[in-house]
Chains A and B, each alone.
Chain A
Amino acid sequence: MESIGGLVVYSGRGANSSLLIGIGNPLRGDDGVGPWLVETWARRRAWREAALAAAQGAAADAADGVVGDLSAGLRVRVVDQLLPELAEELAAVRRVLFVDAWRVDSKAGAPGGTPLQVGPADTGPSGGGPLGSGHQGSGHQGSGHHGCRPRLLPIATADRRDPSAMGWGVPAWTPGHHLTPPVLLQLTAGLYGRAPAAHSLLIPATAFAATDPGGGAARFSAGLRIQLPLAWPLLDQWLQQGAGMLEHPS
């Protein structure tokens, strides 16, 4: 896929093209979990592919301005925040996963608000229930911090058609430069006539003080580190479910 300039026409790797987006600031503690998770996954995948390519005597494909461009038609991108420019890229894939930190209130022991970038998508009418085992209902409910686990949630298609009906608790268009996933998806559909099937993988997070981004997973809060092993199976679950995803009707 050629992702720069102009109005993209996808010329990539077939019907199973997918985009994995890690959202967050690596300098701000748990907020960096989205980028860390997808980068770590991409590195591991790249090592496996390189080993396989070496074994087969073939060169692995070069990355195309993204963290990884994997042979299964999966592209990986990390962003500090969602910007309108991503609409062009979203329009070119069949499905997308937004991986993000989900702010929970560690003192009260319960989710304290909406995810940093992603909303309570499980409330959407067509998405069905969340795929994560720790689902406790909407993003504003839950049985306490210990019961608040990583979640894999569909972003309902209806949410994309009418931002006023999203119930995200944020304006459809925030006055700054960044967007929420459903708003970005709606922008994508509006501008390009299509948008991918979308999910969010939300990881409960509590600590957002400045940290050393080079510290690996050790820089995350103890609560988040406990949750990380639960996030990997959800990511794998999404990766394996590609064929079953519905494409958003334009």
Chain B
Amino acid sequence: MTRTITIDPVTRIEGHARITLQLDAGGHLVEARFHVTEFRGFETFCQGRPFHEMAAITARICGICPVSHLLTSARTGDRLLAVRIPPAAVKLRRLLNLAQISQSHALSFFHLSSPDFLLGWQSDPQRRNLFGLMAAEPELARAGIGLRQFGQAIIERLAGRRIHNAWAVPGGVRSPLALEDRDRILAALPAARAAAALALERFKRLLDGPLQRELNSFGTFPSLFLALVGPGGRWEHLDGRGDAWEERPAAGTHGLVQGPTGLQAGASPDSLAPQAGASSFQSPSSSGGLRLVAADGRVLADGLDEDDYPTFLAEAVEPWSYLKFPYYRPLGYPEGMYRVGPLARLNVCERIGTPWADAELADLRQRCGRVALSSFAYHQARLVEIVACLEGIEALLHDPELQDPHVRSRASLNAREAVGVGEAPRGTLFHHYRVNEQGLITRVNLIIATGQNNLAMNRTVLQIARECLPDPVPASIPEALLNRIEAGIRCFDPCLSCSTHAAGAMPIRLELRAADGRLLAQQVRD
């Protein structure tokens, strides 16, 4: 008789989900699934709205990632207007995105995940939270709060409010940064840097010791990695080619390893050997854009244009989840599994380009190899990116161009279809709009970072369950083991509100089910 074990819902993530572990008649683990159980259908109710409203509308997908949607939507709007936005606006948007990434990563690391590391997998679940962290590591808890506050305050100073602002618009941004606000942010930087340094020092000590096993084996498997890179393969977070998108070759004429005709569904994996147009880490030639890297470090595709995303990305659907399963089209489903987010960004880039962050990137690579395959490495990657964000923020704040009052270009509708891409904290984000002659939305497609990690999250759950659970799996599973399986999902810091286009928080339920669906046993943790 086969059984199903269900963890429902998964805790300390954004959204509603459950995990099921399928056992065969002998009680051996055969399958693991991460089910997303919420749905909102955001794309549909955007239809009929003016395109210039889309930045403010899509920012309301959730309260965690509004800035990412705001910026990517504004970017898509830029392309519908066919305008080059003012240099100051480019830099202000970049400043906003760096603030968003740093505060979101701080939330994930300090509030949601670090209780597992610092208090221990076996610790009392009632204390495995920010309060437990406060008691055990008050300095670190304050550091986390300080870093969150730092990023959020920048967002507030730039955009007027921390969430659901409408500051970025097609053509630029609504207002410049006041000199007084710039100085206040600069004054707060030393404390933010100290907080990041403290977290890195503490976490690396754990990686050298009790977390070594997790780093080696927690969701460790080969996959592809996708992210934006800047010119020369530099770490990028907003637009791989800066504001010079109109200077790019026409859509479909460069980037894909298969050439300008694009990639067809069902293309042979053999065709993915490095070809003309592909680069390697040893001889970076990228002019920026989307880059896809294989587990062995080969650059499979470089300079991918977001306009061409349907040629290299496809989305599969499974009846057991509302979250789609994007995959790299040439490899097919599910072999085209790829990961996005902080680990992917660090795996695909050559360097970050700022001294402290590059030193921390070197540390990550020294621990995990040139391409880190462990999902657990996402946590260190977040800390590295926090450093990159702080250094980037500082550099931008010292840029005199940031004070230019010209922050918005105005134009009427000049294109009927556009794709915008950006790097959200959780990974690459695509917005694709079609509009009619009045500029009203006729079609929307949003490809969210969490969705793109869906296949990898499922693989991570399976791999950790195989690693941690006894074989055969007993009817009663200790909470600590359940927590480790859940923690595999938290590596990805999923935002299901965005990815199913919904909101909520979640306790945990585990069920054992017979092959005929009968409930054999259940464990619930509210």
Enumerate chain A interface residues (CB-CB to B < 8 A). 2-7, 27, 62, 65, 80-81, 83-85, 87-89, 163, 171-178, 186-187, 190-192
Contacts and interface: CB of A to CB of B under 8 A. Distances in A.
Contacts of A3: 149, 153
Contacts of A2: 184, 187-188
Given A4-B184, A65-B153, A176-B504, A80 B145 contact: no
Given A6-B195, A177-B14, A84 B505 contact: no
Contacts of A176: 14, 504-506
Interface stretch (B86-94, B131-139, B168-176, B445-453): B131-139
B523 to A, nearest CB: 16
22 contacts: A3-B149, A5-B149, A5-B192, A6-B150, A6-B188, A7-B142, A7-B146, A7-B191, A65-B181, A83-B148, A87-B145, A88-B145, A172-B126, A175-B11, A175-B507, A176-B506, A177-B107, A177-B111, A177-B505, A190-B131, A190-B134, A191-B145
Given A85-B145, A87-B145, A190-B134, A4 B505 contact: no
A89 B129 CA distance: 21
- The dominant DSSP class at the B interface is helix
Interface in B107-145: 107, 111, 126, 129-131, 134-135, 138, 141-142, 144-145
Contact of A6 (B129, B146, B156, B526): B146
Nearest to B9: A175
B274 to A, nearest CB: 43
Contact of B190 (A6, A80, A175): A6
Nearest to A5: B188
B514 interface: no
Contacts of B157: 4, 65
B12 interface: yes
A81 B141 CA distance: 20
B154 interface: yes
A6 B390 CA distance: 13
Nearest to B131: A173
A89 B162 CA distance: 15
B409 to A, nearest CB: 27
B211 interface: no
Nearest to B144: A84
Contacts, number: 97
Contacts of B156: 65
A171 B149 CA distance: 24
Contacts of B440: none
Given A65-B153, A187-B134, A171 B526 contact: yes
B272 interface: no
B505 A80 contact: no
Interface in B494-526: 504-507, 526
A2 to B, nearest CB: 6
Given A171-B526, A177-B111, 20 more contacts: A2-B187, A3-B149, A4-B150, A4-B153, A4-B185, A5-B146, A5-B150, A5-B191, A6-B188, A27-B60, A80-B63, A84-B130, A85-B145, A85-B152, A89-B149, A173-B131, A175-B505, A175-B506, A177-B63, A187-B130
B12 A163 contact: no
B146 A88 contact: yes
A98 B383 CA distance: 34
Query: Which has the most chain A C-beta neighbours within 10 Å: B131, B507, B526?
Result: B131
A65 B178 CA distance: 12
Contacts of B134: 187, 190-191
A171 to B, nearest CB: 7
Contacts of B129: 173
B180 interface: yes
Nearest to B106: A85
B477 interface: no
B64 A4 contact: no
